[in-house]
Amino acid sequence: MSNTLRVAMIGAGFMGAAHSQSWRVAPRFFDLPVKPTMQVLAGRDPAAVEQAAEKWGWAEASTDWREVIARDDIDLVDIVTPGDTHAEIAIAALEAGKHVLCEKPLANTVDEAEAMAAAANAAAERGVLSMVGLTYRRVPAVTFARDLVAAGRVGVVRQVRAAYRQDWLRDETGPMTWRLEKHRAGSGSLGDIGAHAIDLAEFITGLRLERVSGILETIVTERPMLGERVGLSGTASDRVGTVTVDDVALVTGRFASKDGFAPIGTFEATRFATGRKNALTIEVSGSRGAIAFDLERLNELEVYDATAPAGRQGFTRIIVTEPEHPYMAAWWPTGHGIGYEHPFSHQVRDLVHAITSGIDPEPSFAEGLQVQRVLRAVEASAANGSAWTTTN
């Protein structure tokens, strides 16, 4: 491999900004074995993608992703498009010999995710690697929580409570977006943010969900269409669009048995939790203690030691900014927190090291497929009166 990793990014929306920031910042704070170069940004609208490329620091702009992945001067393709395009782009890129980073959820359906995982396995035999962007794993406090659980600090895991609560859809006059259309988004709150809660539960505990029982609810079934979505001028029209995804998902789950015990879990994903802006929370309760995390306080982790003497027990707030904590040695002095964008740089750091070392990156497409199977089981359960449904 040369001393550079030439990157193309497909997609120029919200995630495009976050990923661009990470490609630009990671090599300036972490000692990477090769230097990522931001070669080309691809999007549908010529003017918009040109503007985004200039703003975010990409050398070129393109409106043809197929031409981009066929180029000899591209080593890695970063996919940040809506879910309905992930499978086509990722499989084509892998077959073209490009490493791939693909945003979550991996795909809109299990069939698509299975095809992507199969393509990733075939590509890996040729030294072409892939990763799914479940970025919250790389919040230092989350990685630290996983390490504590793996070290036995909570003992036998008995129960998990995870939720991802936002309120950006609470206004019923808010306009339609692609995230509210099943054919483009795959699902609503369940896949968009519930995927993160499910993944963190499995990541932190090291256990897999085997059975689920779910309820899905669409609270607002119609929303106004923006003018550009119906070919009209102005900001909005009197036309409405039908919301075809869930607004709220409530799930009960059973994890795989370990040491003769199968822990239970509860999950919530909602974009109608008034007052909650980006509240991804998880609490793991075990026989020796517990850990609790809240993304709205992402530099903190609460740890409970049930083995402490009576009268000294209670949750301890750990400020996860010490150089001994995951990733933090690269950033600021002790006590100086990091923000939402930093885990994306951690993702770049880990991906570049994996590629140069020839090690399969994590989370893999197979792990993304596992999350997709859980999402499918929840949908099947909800359609069948919340009946318990296996995730295989």
Read off the pLDDT of residues 357-383 as tens digits, 9 standing for 90 and up. 999 999 999 999 999 999 999 999 999
Whether the link from the prior residue into 105 is cis, omega within 30° of 0, is yes
Section 21-35 average pLDDT? 97
Q: What is the pLDDT of residues 276-322, one digit of tens each?
A: 999 999 999 999 999 999 999 999 999 999 999 999 999 999 999 99
Section 19-40 average pLDDT? 97
Residue 237 has pLDDT above 70, yes or no: no
CATH architecture of 4-136: 3-Layer(aba) Sandwich (3.40)
Residue 389 has pLDDT above 90, yes or no: yes
Residue 235 has pLDDT above 60, yes or no: no
Q: What is the pLDDT of residues 162-174, one digit of tens each?
A: 999 999 999 999 9
Q: Could you tell me which of 38, 85, 46 has the C-alpha nearest to residue 66?
A: 85
- What local confidence, expressed as pLDDT, does residue 258 receive? 86
Tell me the pLDDT of the chain averaged across its residues: 95
Q: Could you tell me which of 143, 282, 269, 160 has the C-alpha nearest to residue 209?
A: 160
Q: Looking at the DSSP assignment, which residues form a beta bridge with residue 319?
A: 300
What's the CA gap between 371 and 391, in Å, rounded? 9
Place of tokens 């949750």: 315
Structural domain boundaries of the chain?
Answer: 4-136, 139-361+371-383
% pLDDT > 70, the chain: 97
- What local confidence, expressed as pLDDT, does residue 26 receive? 98
- What local confidence, expressed as pLDDT, does residue 238 receive? 61
What is the fold, at CATH topology level, of the domain defined by 139-361+371-383? Dihydrodipicolinate Reductase; domain 2 (3.30.360)
Chain-centre distance for alpha carbon 389: 24
Q: What is the pLDDT of residues 96-110, one digit of tens each?
A: 999 999 999 999 999
- What local confidence, expressed as pLDDT, does residue 40 receive? 98
Give the C-alpha distances (Å, rounded to integers) separating 37 from 62, 126, 327: 16, 23, 22
Section 176-203 average pLDDT? 95
232 confidence band (pLDDT: 50, 70, 90): very low
Q: Which two tokens stand for residue 198?
A: 């499910």
- What local confidence, expressed as pLDDT, does residue 227 receive? 57
What's the CA gap between 185 and 192, in Å, rounded? 8
Q: What pTM value is reported for the model?
A: 0.94
Contact between residue 302 and residue 319 where contact means Cβ atoms under 8 Å apart: no
259 confidence band (pLDDT: 50, 70, 90): confident
Q: Could you tell me which of 368, 376, 358 has the C-alpha nearest to residue 117?
A: 368
Q: What is the pLDDT of residues 124-157, one digit of tens each?
A: 999 999 999 999 999 999 999 999 999 999 999 9
Size (the chain), residues: 392
Are the folds of 4-136 and 139-361+371-383 the same?
no
% pLDDT > 90, the chain: 94
Residue 234 has pLDDT above 80, yes or no: no
- What local confidence, expressed as pLDDT, does residue 146 receive? 98
- What local confidence, expressed as pLDDT, does residue 230 receive? 44
